[in-house]
């Protein structure tokens, strides 16, 4: 899967190449993606199988079939350099998706991820956000935890009570 396209559009693009005909995301319907079995992984060298069929309204085709492809793992995103990203404790998924996109280049949608909120560790000042792919995500699987530096603390910002320059 390409990291730059919406998952269903990306799947349609791969099908277009394989079929030799232009297939739009609006032409197809899919079942839920499944992790391939050990035998399928050996035979097809892909981590996901999915049933894909044309919608009745499609003028491109009428058949359905199982196809194999690779979904991307969320775990490597948790290792991304998020230095400078501004995140507030309690930020929901809708607020986090643009931050993740801006700092990692990964295109995620609410359809891909389970809803979580950013959590502040009061002791360390670190904010974490749990990434967890929905089982129905066409483009992603797995999970990981993003870590953000928390807001500056006034108590730890200065070594004494004097401000420089005053």
Q: What is the pLDDT of residue 82?
A: 77
Distance CA 111, CA 136 (A): 8
Q: What is the pLDDT of residue 158?
A: 55
Task: Give, rounded to a whole angstrom, the gap between the first and last alpha carbons of the chain.
Answer: 57
| 28-30 vs 48-54, strand pairing mode | antiparallel
Lowest mean pLDDT among 29-33, 142-146, 152-156: 152-156
- Pick 59 or 83 by higher pLDDT: 59
pLDDT in tens, 10-47: 888 888 898 888 998 888 888 888 888 889 888 888 89
Average predicted confidence (pLDDT) for the chain: 83
85 — pLDDT class (breaks 50, 70, 90): confident
């Amino acid at each position: 899967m390409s990291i730059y396209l919406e998952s269903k559009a990306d799947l349609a693009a791969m099908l277009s190449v394989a079929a030799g005909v232009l297939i739009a995301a609006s032409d197809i319907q899919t079942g839920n993606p499944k992790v391939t079995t050990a035998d399928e992984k050996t035979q097809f060298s892909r981590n996901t199988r999915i049933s894909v069929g044309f919608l009745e309204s499609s003028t491109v085709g009428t058949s359905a079939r199982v196809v194999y492809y690779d979904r991307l793992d969320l775990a490597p995103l948790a290792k991304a350099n998020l230095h400078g990203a501004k995140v507030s404790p309690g930020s929901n998924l809708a607020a986090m998706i643009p931050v993740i996109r801006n700092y990692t280049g990964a295109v995620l949608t609410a359809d891909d991820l389970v809803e979580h909120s950013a959590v502040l560790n009061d002791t360390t000042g670190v904010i974490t956000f749990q990434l967890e792919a929905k089982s129905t995500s066409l483009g992603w699987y797995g999970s990981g935890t993003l870590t953000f530096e928390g807001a500056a603390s006034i108590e730890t910002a200065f070594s004494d009570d004097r401000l420089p320059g005053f």
